[in-house]
Amino acid sequence: MVGARITVNGKETPISPAAPHTTVLDFLREQGFTGTKEGCAEGECGACSVLVARPGVDKPTDWVAVNACLVPAAALDGQEVVTSEGLATAGKPGTPPTLHPVQEEMAVRGGSQCGYCTPGFVCSMAAEYYRPGRCAHAEPAEGAESTEDAEHGPNGFDLHALSGNLCRCTGYRPIRDAAFAVGAPADEDPLARRREQSPPAAVATSYIQEGSAFLRKDTLAETLQVLRERPEAVVVAGSTDWGVEVNIRARRADCVVAIDRLPELRELKVGADAVEIGAALTLTEIERRLDGRVPLLAELFPQFASRLIRNGATLGGNLGTGSPIGDSPPVLLALEASLVLAGADGEREVPLADYFTGYRQSVRRPGELIRAVRVPLPLAPVTAFHKIAKRRFDDISSVAVAFALEIEDGAVRKARIGLGGVAATPIRALATEAALEGREWTAGTVEAAARVLRAQGTPMSDHRASAEYRAAMLGQSLLKLYAQTKEAVSS
């Protein structure tokens, strides 16, 4: 049996003897790829960004940028990784390599000073450089409206691709200039050609070192059997939460079970009555596959951490942690979503409103996994997601509020409101919903309901916000929704 291996810059490299908790970052640096840097060790700075070949949305393979500091090296068994060193093209013997176009633009436009963060920026920029369709609308047809704005360049480059990368000395203007200057990949570009081939197949992994194990099974049934036998096992998908525990809190596990490549957890189905989203699909995959068909989710995604995190994070993981400040639960509560829980003895469906039972606790039984999230159809026509945080992007919310309203003939027929950050669990604002339903969508109704909303939950004071601020923001959020929608609803 061939041991666990990763293809790094085109060369297969055994993972052994690295410990199962060893991150891709530490593994790569041990192999001499020191362009991959550690800055924060929790997925905030992007200095460790590398490219991974993943199943594509618009092409067979996508080059996806991920935080190497969070992902266990064993999780990339059988997969392909490209580091900043692997982007340049080797020259003839005795001559230096030819810089990749994104490296060239960063150099000539002054996008680097100390250079510590530069390799991570380059890898994140390269992922966007190779994004299928990026250049499709770069030059609008005569008379067509340009899509260029502050966050999108004339070459179709989306600056959100760099939202997970921090630079402390260069300043972002020259980095933006470099991003907006890159053209389309050349026909002979090997990484561009790689997109047309099938992605690496998922492989079963049993990586054991010094009594600790990293396991990936071929099927959901096999995985559930492992969890029945080893209920203490840590389950990971993108490892965006567990990776922080390993790095910052030095947590270790005797057994880690990966579910990110299970085909049963990676389906997305749009039916007549519901949208079913596989729990192991990354947020980026969901965003691009849905392509705006669920507007409330489309509003959530840009505000959920950074693109680097969304390239690994999953709805199953966000819900599985049970965090009261997760961004997806308020949205899914407003959408009246339910969860499909799978165990060795079968499946059951649980409304998300009944899922959380306490701080980081839920009705999920030992050995059960979240297989899918179901969003019922049709969708409410009036929706909004308001995230109150100290930064616009890539921040933890102080308060999160999601609205889904049905307003007919000027009256609220149905209201669903999900809240995060104001109680030990994500909650529905039931009293506020009742204060709205059956009443005219008027300033008077909304102001009265806003007073009710301010009293919902049990907000606490911490370093992010005071309890009083959180309560005030709840009420303001409903008033903001009314201001945004009153004209559209009345017309």
Q: Find all residues with CB under 8 Å of 312, minimum gap 6, and list them.
A: 66, 67, 70, 71, 237, 238, 239, 240, 282
Q: CA-CA distances (angstroms) from residue 171 to 48, 95, 174, 177?
A: 19, 32, 7, 11
Q: What pLDDT, on a 0 to 100 scale, did the predictor assign at position 161?
A: 97
Q: What pLDDT, on a 0 to 100 scale, did the predictor assign at position 423?
A: 96
Characterize the bridge pairing of strands 399-408 and 411-420.
Answer: antiparallel
pLDDT in tens, 245-267: 999 999 999 999 999 999 999 99
Asked if 385 and 299 touch (Cβ cutoff 8 Å), the reply is yes
For 3, which DSSP code?
Answer: P
Q: What pLDDT, on a 0 to 100 scale, did the predictor assign at position 205?
A: 97
The mean per-residue pLDDT over the stretch 112-128 comes to 97
* 216 pLDDT above the threshold of 70: yes
Residues above pLDDT 90, as percent of the chain: 90
**Confidence band, pLDDT 50/70/90 cuts, at residue 7:** very high
The separation between the first and the last C-alpha atoms of the chain, rounded to the nearest angstrom, is 67
Q: Find all residues with CB under 8 Å of 432, minimum gap 6, and list them.
A: 415, 417, 449, 452, 453, 456, 478
Structural domains for the chain: 31-71+81-200 (1.10.150.120), 381-491 (3.30.390.50)
Q: What pLDDT, on a 0 to 100 scale, did the predictor assign at position 140?
A: 52
Q: What pLDDT, on a 0 to 100 scale, did the predictor assign at position 490?
A: 62
* 62 pLDDT above the threshold of 50: yes
The mean per-residue pLDDT over the stretch 274-278 comes to 98
Other CB atoms closer than 10 Å to residue 148's CB: what's the count? 16
The radius of gyration computed from the CA coordinates of the chain, to the nearest angstrom, equals: 23
CA atoms within a 13 Å half-sphere pointing along the CA-CB vector of 309:
27
Q: What pLDDT, on a 0 to 100 scale, did the predictor assign at position 391?
A: 84
* 141 pLDDT above the threshold of 60: no
DSSP one-letter string for 330-368 = HHHHHTT-EEEEEETTEEEEEEGGGTEEETTEESPPTT-
Rounded-to-integer distance, Cα 103 and Cα 71, Å: 25
Asked if 169 and 113 touch (Cβ cutoff 8 Å), the reply is yes
Q: What pLDDT, on a 0 to 100 scale, did the predictor assign at position 147?
A: 56
**Confidence band, pLDDT 50/70/90 cuts, at residue 93:** confident
Q: What pLDDT, on a 0 to 100 scale, did the predictor assign at position 2?
A: 63
pTM summary value: 0.95
Characterize the bridge pairing of strands 205-209 and 212-216.
Answer: antiparallel
Q: Quote the crossing angle between the two packed helices 172-181 and 118-129, to the nearest 10°.
A: 30
Q: What pLDDT, on a 0 to 100 scale, did the predictor assign at position 139?
A: 57
Q: What pLDDT, on a 0 to 100 scale, did the predictor assign at position 137?
A: 58
**Confidence band, pLDDT 50/70/90 cuts, at residue 148:** low
Query: What average pLDDT does the structure give for the chain?
Result: 94
DSSP one-letter string for 384-433 = EEEEE-SSSSS---SEEEEEEEEEETTEEEEEEEEEESSSSS-EE-HHHH
